[in-house]
Structure 1
Amino acid sequence: GGCMMSGDRLSLVLEWVDGCDLKELVRRRRTSGGWDYDIVNDGLLHEFVLLRDVSRGMHYLHVQEPVILHRDLKPSNIMLHVDEHDSEAGPAPAEPVPRAMLSDFGTCDFLGEGRAGGQPGGGYAVEFAAPERLRGLDSEEPADMWSAGLVLYAMCFGDLPYHSEDPQTCRELVMAHVMLSDLPEWRDPALRGLISALTAREPVARPTAEEAERASASACQSRQLSPNSTRSRSSSGVKSPPSLPPPTEGALEILDGEASP
């Protein structure tokens, strides 16, 4: 992207995105009544690819001088784009893995110069906000990575660990967080490990964006199968997912990431 000045008019030029946002992708999977994650192109789990892209975008923000904090990472702020296929590279995959791109930088801050903590009216989603931010403490890069962990949780399970129709109740649930345990075993162990690490109670214990990008990229590489191959649930070492009932209205609403009152 870039910007242009024409007289007193400032214009932003952003890359065209031809897909939906991540919230819509999760919604579609959730309303289908079940998950089918193991049969994907070349054996790759989409979650690893999307987390790699999200982490790469966060890493770009976090290495700027001064550091840029996103502060409102959630599925509706992650756009999905499918790159044009090069016909010379062979046949196009039946289900191409989209590329995740960060968007909505309206709540961004420079590290040390913006809103410290989670005061009401901050324009952020309580469900995706880090505990330290909701306590009103200074929040830095690890708070963004907490949000990335909640985004990964939503991708994996179509839900969130903490949510309530009452924003104050939701705040209290998040602030009381200790650790996410007993994650469903039918998901890839590496995904469960990344969720647990990104949602560590202590900010210093969470992976950096660079570390999360490296871990997800490594997972992509280690799970890459030969072209035209498929991967069955029996060979994945992961328990088959249960058939999910139709979601409640609230389960879908929380993915919209309503702003804090």
Structure 2
Amino acid sequence: MTRNIYKMPSASHETSDQDREAFVEVDPSGRFGRYSDLLGAGAVKKVYRGFDQEEGRDVAWNQVKLRNFSDDPTVLKRLLSEIELLQTLENENIIVLYSFWMDVENTTLNFITEACASGNLRDYRKKHRRVSLKAMKNWSRQILRGLEYLHTHEPCIIHRDLNCSNIFINGNIGKVKIGDLGLAAVVGKNHAAHTLLGTPEYMAPELYEEDYNELVDIYSFGMCLVEMATMEIPYSECDSIAKIYRKVTSGAMPQAFNKVNDPELKAFIERCIGQPRARPSASDLLQDPFLVITSSEESDGST
């Protein structure tokens, strides 16, 4: 069982003991330690800086206070689904799950995932206002490889909540990974789902009709591109979900789309957010001329 450590270090302790005192808590195996530093917080969970003592690497310690959701059992069910799902996935563009457990004494659900040093793509893009089209193409290819893996998984997995806040990056090597699969749907061979979930600004029109397939993630990816290019969340001009719904279902583009300057990028985004029957798959988009790696990119190591 997870135990909290509150003792202050003393001069008689060995160095390893002193290091352990920095942890607020450790996991049941003693392998992972949690620091107090908060990396991020959402409606359901908090993410803390953690450390894997066995491998000597930083990790993300995700923690859910179950008592906050005791009146809504669907939250716990969704989180357990995320954990079970993450355990089965193995792709370089999907966040890795290392361990999970329930702390009954403190009524928390904890799971340890890979840490991306530079945080999410939304915050990273805001920190770096000058980002080249080549860099955005590199990010796009990686996101699409992750989506291709999910969509061709058996059974098919639809993320359903793809946006720049749950795409993560290791900026020192430009590695991008999709995370937060808590709203993902595992669907059968007909690839149809019927539950309304997601972030309104990124939701495809057919999601509101509750009859959709994995191509809703391609629409969301297109909206991510709008944000990457402009640093504006799509439909930020709307002050209510109802207004977003009206614009999305009527086919009206977000105002931020008009601020995308590159005509090729603009055309590529339009392909992603087109009508469902005309919308390409992740595999199709990876073969799109817009994302084909040029000889100059090959020579400088871009992927």
Native 8 Å contact 2:205 2:249 kept in 1: yes
Q: Which amino acid aligns with 2:117?
A: D
Q: Which amino acid aligns with 2:239?
A: E
Is 1:133 matched up with 2:207? Answer: yes
The correspondence for 1:196, drawn from 270, 274, 279, is 270
CA shift digits 1:108-166 (9 cap, x unpaired): 11125986153xxx3x21000001112x2311111110000000111011224424111
Q: Which amino acid aligns with 1:203?
A: P
Equivalent in the alignment of 1:146 = 219
User: Comparing both chains, which one has the higher relative contact order based on Cα–Cα distances under 8 Å and sequence gaps of 6 or more?
Assistant: 1
Native 8 Å contact 1:52 1:214 kept in 2: no
State the shift of 1:27 in Å: 2.7
Runs of 4+ displaced beyond 6 Å: 5-11, 179-182
Native 8 Å contact 1:142 1:204 kept in 2: no
Equivalent in the alignment of 1:63 = 152
Specify whether residues 8 and 65 from structure 1 end up closer, same or farther in structure 2 by C-alpha distance, changes over 3 A only: farther
CA shift digits 1:170-193 (9 cap, x unpaired): 111111116689845732x33222
- Give the TM-score normalised by the residue count of structure 1: 0.64
Question: Structure 2 regions of 5+ residues with no counterpart?
Answer: 1-95
Equivalent in the alignment of 2:72 = none
Q: Which amino acid aligns with 1:101?
A: K
Q: How many residues align?
A: 198
Partners of 1:139 and 1:50 in 2: CA distance: 26
CA shift digits 1:209-235 (9 cap, x unpaired): 11223337843335528559xxxxxxx
Native 8 Å contact 2:193 2:213 kept in 1: no
Q: Which structure: larger Rg?
A: 2
The correspondence for 1:48, drawn from 137, 150, 156, is 137
CA shift digits 1:6-45 (9 cap, x unpaired): 899997553331112011023334xxxxx5345xxxxx62
Q: Secondary structure in 1 aligned to 2:115? A: coil
Specify whether residues 223 and 171 from structure 1 end up closer, same or farther in structure 2 by C-alpha distance, changes over 3 A only: farther
Partners of 1:217 and 1:146 in 2: CA distance: 17
Specify whether residues 206 and 180 from structure 1 end up closer, same or farther in structure 2 by C-alpha distance, changes over 3 A only: farther
Partners of 1:223 and 1:184 in 2: CA distance: 27
State the shift of 1:67 in Å: 0.4
Specify whether residues 210 and 227 from structure 1 end up closer, same or farther in structure 2 by C-alpha distance, changes over 3 A only: closer
Native 8 Å contact 2:235 2:254 kept in 1: no
Equivalent in the alignment of 1:75 = 164
- Give the TM-score normalised by the residue count of structure 2: 0.56
Equivalent in the alignment of 1:250 = none
The correspondence for 1:104, drawn from 156, 180, 205, is 180
Q: Which amino acid aligns with 1:139?
A: Y
Percent identical: 25
Question: Structure 1 regions of 5+ residues with no counterpart?
Answer: 30-34, 39-43, 83-95, 229-261
Equivalent in the alignment of 1:168 = 242
The correspondence for 1:186, drawn from 261, 265, 268, is 261
Please, which moves more after superposition, 218-227 or 203-212? 218-227
Partners of 1:7 and 1:168 in 2: CA distance: 38
Equivalent in the alignment of 1:238 = none
Q: Secondary structure in 2 aligned to 1:172? A: helix
Equivalent in the alignment of 1:231 = none
Partners of 2:122 and 2:150 in 1: CA distance: 22
